[in-house]
Amino acid sequence: MPLYLSRRPVSKTHADALILFGSGFVPSDGRHVLRADPPVSGDVHSLEACYLPCLEEALSSGYDSVAAPLCFDPDIPRDRILTDAVCLIGAFLRMNQRDLTVTLCVPGPVPPETDDALLQLIEQPPEPCFDTCEFDIAYMPSAAGSAPAPKKVSSLGVERRRKAPVSGKRESVVCENAMAAPSSDLDSLIRNMDKGFAPTLFRLIDEKGLTDVECYKRANVSRKTFSKIRCDVDYRPSRETALAFAIALRLTLKETEEFLRTAGLSLSPSRTADVIVKYYIEQGFYDIDRINESLFRYDQPCLGV
């Protein structure tokens, strides 16, 4: 099911079959070639005639993966063709029950996102979460006959003092007290831990009224990966997989942050990918193909697996 966007040429992309326009290149490794006629124009109907017959042939032939180049039309902006192709192929994959992984190869530069609000978020530096610590020099009296020793003071006016060494006797007392501490509180904390990623995911799927198939197709995740999650209660997803399911479940920003915490993850204001995904969630926009297109334009990994 997943749709990937890659900057590698189609000839160097791993796939069972390749979609190629016209005649010409023949792969030396024996991979099957699905020949397609270049579109006569860059509109959606022309793209359908270009890609869909090859994708249907790939399904009927039993291929698991296909790589296809992005077609070009000198009269149509490249970014518009990219958007139309992503939406077309993504919709085709979600409508079919059988898994097919498609890699859309887009070598060369891609125009940046045209959303001014998103551009502003990405280009502005993240706000620091704490004040920058600048040090001034303060002089204090030292031993007689010696020059005053400098001492660093933080910008908040708090002196940085070196901790006095602790005697061996004192250390042994602390260690003994630590060893003697009761473990009942720790046992209680462990018994009452929050549920992990996998149990939380399946609970949310039920609460949202989705089927498993609907969820992993929305998330741009393969059936194989979804099966691994179902079979492993302690499954640790990648950031891209966890965010993909947050998009598929249509979670709010607060729900997304809580969901990510079950996988030991969080959104960071200093990561371009997180800024992009957060922006779309706040806008209530959950089309994963379009979100992945924006991520691709900024050389960020796409969501899903």
Q: How many domains does the chain have?
A: 2
Q: What pLDDT, on the 0 to 100 scale, is given for residue 131?
A: 44
Rounded Cα distance between 44 and 50, Å, is 10
Query: Which residues of the chain are under the pLDDT cut of 50?
Result: 129-144, 146, 152-162, 171-175
* Residue 229, in any domain of the structure: yes
- From 88, 111, 134, the end of a domain falls on 111
Gap between the Cα atoms of 193 and 147, Å rounded: 57
Task: For residues 100 and 199, state if they share a domain.
Answer: no
CB-based contact 201:260 (threshold 8 Å): no
111, 142, 174: which is the final residue of a domain?
111
CATH number of the domain residue 249 falls in: 1.10.260
Cβ neighbour number for residue 38 with a 10 Å cutoff: 11
In this predicted model, what pLDDT tens digit does every residue of 200-222 receive, in sequence order? 999 999 999 999 999 999 999 99
- Beta-strand relationship, 17-21 and 101-105: unpaired
Reported as a single tens digit per residue, the pLDDT across 283-299 is 999 999 999 999 999 99
CB 48, CB 88: distance < 8 Å: yes
Residue 264 lies in a domain: yes
CATH number at residue 87: 3.40.220.10
- pTM value is 0.73
In a domain, 208, yes or no: yes
Q: Is residue 131 part of a domain?
A: no
For residue 224, the enclosing domain spans: 195-297
Is 94 domain-assigned? yes
Tell me how far the alpha carbon of residue 116 is from its chain's centroid. 22
Structural domain contains residue 244: yes
Of 91, 111, 131, the domain-final residue: 111
pLDDT of the residue at 137:
40
Q: Which is it for strands 65-69 and 17-21: parallel, antiparallel or unpaired?
A: parallel
pLDDT, residue 122, reads: 64
Within a domain: residue 36? Answer: yes
Strand partners, 17: 32, 66
Note whether residue 217 is domain-resident: yes
